[in-house]
Structure 1
Amino acid sequence: MRHRTPKATVPPDPRLERWEAGAELPLLAASLVFLAGYALHVLVPEGNRFVRETGLVAVGVTWLMFLVDYAVRYRLSRQRPIRFVRTHWLDTVVLVLPLLRPLRVVKVYTAIRRRGSRARLGLHARVITYAGLSALLLGFAGALNVYQAERHAPDATIRTFGDSVWWVAATLTTVGYGDVVPVTVRGRTVAVGMMIGGLALLGAVTGSFSSWLLSVFAQEGDDEAPGE
């Protein structure tokens, strides 16, 4: 019986780590520009065509930056396409749906869980801060998307951007009053994403806070043990 010898794993290019470290802040700025451009295109009245078109240009340029970053990461990783997509699924989702870029906080939450054996308040506090900022950015992006999809739909209850913000706040916090709801397919698809994102972010915050409390209590118990 033959035994297949496993193929040797090609190590990533040493430049990959430097690229990821150097590109993180520029891509964060590009994400904010993308969101601002999309907001201009959605919120500015249709009569002001120049501003709306400028927003679209900003969206296109920043999305190209995301595409270049994704291509460089793939090239330097030296992985096959399917394996790269599997190991970088969040980057792939963000490339297809750039408005979901705030969900990269999941990577931070994974990192803190791997270091759960050590009590590091700074790390826990950063996760909570990132989750809060991500909730704001994700909520704003979702409100824009739902408002764009719903405002001209027949029988829609979300007619203004304020209605959309109210709906997103109720959805992300898992309250769900039900006074305003999306009626279009696109709006309901965004709603599912908001529900999943809200649960994930809420879980990241509560999990990190609980982990910090348990670490503090465990440390206090260790300090009291010698005296007893």
Structure 2
Amino acid sequence: MDRLTSWERRTSVALLAIGVVFLLSWAIPVLVPNLPTAADTALWYLQVITWALFTADYLIRVTLAPRRLRFLVRNIPSLLVVLLPLLRPLWLLRALLLLHVIADRIRLPLRLRAVVYVSGTALFLCMVGSIAVLDVERDNGNIKTIGDAIWWSLTTMTTVGYGDRFPITAEGRLVASGLMIAGIALAGVVTAAIASWFVERFERTAALDRRTEAGLAQVAAELTETRKALADLAHTHNMLRDELATLTARLNS
């Protein structure tokens, strides 16, 4: 195990906790806009601290990476999250690892675990998207409440798009673009899972039919052999009976 993998394993739980703290410090001022100034300032400093911790983690991972250029190329979204404050909520995607751990630890079939993971991902993205769009659209657009934001997120992720609620700011449209892409991707995953389930059922039924046909063919072959053996026994019996009759006739004469 290289140093980078070891570091990521040791810090995964801590980063998850930091992500939850960041989520709360980011969401509370959006959901409760009339917070006291002291509380609002404290939450802002908490966001800065968590962002600094994520930045430190990224720099440490760059330092520990055996191939730094390759690491940078493969982790461009992480770099953008560090550099652009608008994308900082994307660090919360690390929380999806918790869903993966839960799905692995509960005793469920693989397909049900995938359903748990995909459902959790959809709910998480809907929640984050709702808070993000409310944060940037409340003062300028027609998304004024968390209810409006959740409704808009659901219609956007499901690609329904009624048009009664829509973002008008550049930041809101960026959030909308992310939700659209995520919604299409999740719909593709769900469709693939359903198609896989049907294909598996058909293959299982076909395999059962093949085994049944093979069993019936084997039984038919065994019956044919049995009939042949019985015919041979009957022929032998007739020959012995004829010989016995011949011997009896000779003895009587």
TM tier, smaller: 0.7 to 0.9
Corresponding residue number in structure 2 for 1:16: 4
Deviation at 1:163, TM superposition (A): 1.2
Call closer, same or farther: CA 1:47–1:15 in 2, change over 3 Å: closer
* Structure 1 unaligned regions, length at least 5: 1-12, 108-120
* Aligned residues between the structures: 202
Call closer, same or farther: CA 1:126–1:94 in 2, change over 3 Å: farther
- Per mean C-alpha deviation after superposition, the further-off stretch among 125-134 and 34-43 is 125-134
The aligned amino acid for 2:123 is L
| Structure with a larger share of its residues in helix | 2
Match of 2:124 among 132, 137, 142: 137
State whether residues 146 and 164 of structure 1, in contact with CA within 8 Å, keep that contact through their aligned partners in structure 2: yes
Deviation at 1:167, TM superposition (A): 0.8
Call closer, same or farther: CA 1:17–1:160 in 2, change over 3 Å: same
Q: Return the structure number with greater relative CO, CA threshold 8 A, min gap 6.
A: 1
The aligned amino acid for 1:169 is L
Deviation at 1:104, TM superposition (A): 6.0
* Structure 2 unaligned regions, length at least 5: 98-107, 214-253
1:35 aligned onto 2:41: no
Corresponding residue number in structure 1 for 2:54: 66
SS at match of 2:163: coil
Match of 2:178 among 169, 193, 201: 193
Corresponding residue number in structure 2 for 1:116: none
The share of aligned pairs that are identical, in percent, is 37
Match of 1:158 among 131, 143, 151: 143
Call closer, same or farther: CA 1:106–1:48 in 2, change over 3 Å: closer
Q: Distance in 2 between matches of 1:80 and 1:41?
A: 38
1:176 aligned onto 2:167: no
Q: Distance in 1 between matches of 2:196 and 2:53?
A: 36
State whether residues 81 and 91 of structure 2, in contact with CA within 8 Å, keep that contact through their aligned partners in structure 1: yes
1:98 aligned onto 2:88: yes
Q: Distance in 2 between matches of 1:25 and 1:106?
A: 12
Q: CA RMSD in A?
A: 2.9
Corresponding residue number in structure 2 for 1:215: 200
Q: Distance in 2 between matches of 1:106 and 1:85?
A: 22
Highest Rg: 1 or 2? 2
Corresponding residue number in structure 2 for 1:167: 152
Deviation at 1:93, TM superposition (A): 4.7
